[in-house]
Amino acid sequence: MYKYHDNGQLQVKGTFKDGEIEDGPWVEYHDNGQVRTQGTYKDGEEDGPWVVYNKYSIPYENLTGTYKNGVRVSD
């Protein structure tokens, strides 16, 4: 699935299970083209390593880490 910002920049690139539930690699982008969020979903929940960036590609340390069933379990 691809979704775009109004300015034409890619907003989301991800996969869905059964066409409805986020499942698999997922990348979201700021409207300036920089990566905003990158990780993997499993059955609609964050699962595994996730990194969340500001518009200048600096990670938000309080949001970045390893997730299990949508809950952050480690930095």
Average pLDDT over residues 1-12: 97
β strands within the chain, DSSP E:
2-4, 10-17, 21-29, 35-42, 45-46, 48-52, 65-68, 71-74
Q: Is the confidence at residue 19, as pLDDT, over 90?
A: no
Confidence of residue 25 (pLDDT cuts 50, 70, 90): very high
Average pLDDT over residues 24-28: 98
pLDDT at 54: 96
Could you read off the pLDDT of 30-66 as tens digits, one per residue?
A: 999 999 999 999 999 999 999 999 999 999 999 999 9
Structural domain containing residue 55:
2-74
**How many separate domains does the chain show?**
1
Model pTM?
A: 0.90
